[in-house]
């Protein structure tokens, strides 16, 4: 006949195993979040490097850049949450998200096609004026 202490030891062991499983799930979530952040940072580094090289080539003063940085940090929308990169698969047309594991890439879950997400500069002023032109037509 099993003893009460054996039952308590088994129950305690089961609780420990269950807690370890939950902790492993949390670690996986954190790792995915860290990979998403790494992907975002790499995107920004590439874009900033490209812009800085263009500005230096054109003789733009660091004072002009610093003034623009100050202006941007004073805008409330500057601190909105970032959007995850996505595109339609060129192979099957389904949506592919940046997987975060390999920065700036995504893999189609349906056909396995790997897609690169090259950063693109968006000029909000141009997008607004294009929207006005379309509404005028």
Instruction: Tokens for 22, please give them.
Output: 């939950």
From first to last of its 137 residues, the chain has per-residue pLDDT tens of 556 566 667 777 777 777 777 777 777 777 777 888 888 888 888 888 888 889 888 999 888 888 888 888 888 776 776 667 788 999 999 999 887 667 678 889 999 999 887 766 666 655 555 555 555 54
What predicted TM-score, i.e. pTM, was given to this entire model?
Answer: 0.39
Residue 39, number of CB atoms within 10 A of its CB: 23
CA distances from 31 to 41, 44, 106, 115 (A): 15, 20, 17, 22
- Long-range contacts at 82-89 (CB < 8 A, ≥ 24 apart): 82/40, 84/36, 85/39, 85/43, 85/117, 87/115, 87/117, 89/113, 89/115
């Amino acid at each position: 006949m099993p003893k009460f202490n054996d039952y308590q030891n088994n129950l305690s062991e089961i609780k420990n195993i269950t807690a370890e499983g939950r902790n492993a799930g949390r670690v996986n979530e954190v790792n995915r979040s860290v990979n998403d952040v790494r992907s975002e940072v790499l995107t920004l580094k590439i874009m900033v490097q490209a812009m800085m090289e263009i500005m230096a080539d054109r003789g733009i003063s660091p004072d002009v850049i610093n003034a623009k940085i100050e202006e941007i940090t004073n805008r409330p929308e500057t601190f909105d949450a970032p959007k995850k990169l996505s595109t339609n698969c060129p192979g099957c047309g389904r949506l592919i998200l940046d997987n975060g594991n390999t920065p700036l890439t995504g893999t189609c879950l349906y056909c396995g096609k790997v897609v690169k997400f090259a950063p693109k500069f968006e000029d909000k002023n141009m997008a607004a004026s294009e929207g006005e032109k379309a509404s005028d037509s």
